[in-house]
Amino acid sequence: MEKDRILYPCYFNAALGREQGRRVPLGLAQKGVNMQDLERALKKTGLPYRVEAGSHPSYWHRRDGRAVVAWSESKERLLRRVGAALEPKK
């Protein structure tokens, strides 16, 4: 059974430490990840998702947005799959 998993851009931001909200290893993170970057990565994976207005609770003032992904496995596995699909910043 698939559950909705919420992903925020800060989960993939290499400029942040784990205690600041990054959820993927530095090898899968990119600097300055925004909602457009996250959406491109999700399109690459082919996973069903929708984008919503909202913000990470720690960064409530930013209003970066979030992605809601239908996913049946662990969130950690989803984070790694999406992180691997992020395009390197130029």
**pLDDT tens-digit series, residues 33-61:** 999 999 999 999 999 999 999 888 888 88
Q: Is the Cβ–Cβ distance between 8 and 20 less than 8 Å?
A: no
Say which amino acid occupies 42: L
CATH 3.30.56.30 fits 3-85, yes or no: yes
Band of pLDDT at residue 28, cut at 50, 70 and 90: very high
Domain boundaries, the chain: 3-85
Q: Examine the pLDDT at 90 and tell me if it is beyond 80.
A: no
Residues 2-25 have a mean pLDDT of 94
Q: Examine the pLDDT at 89 and tell me if it is beyond 90.
A: no
Residue 60 burial (CB count, 10 A): 9
Strand order in the sheet with 49-52: 3-7, 66-71, 49-52
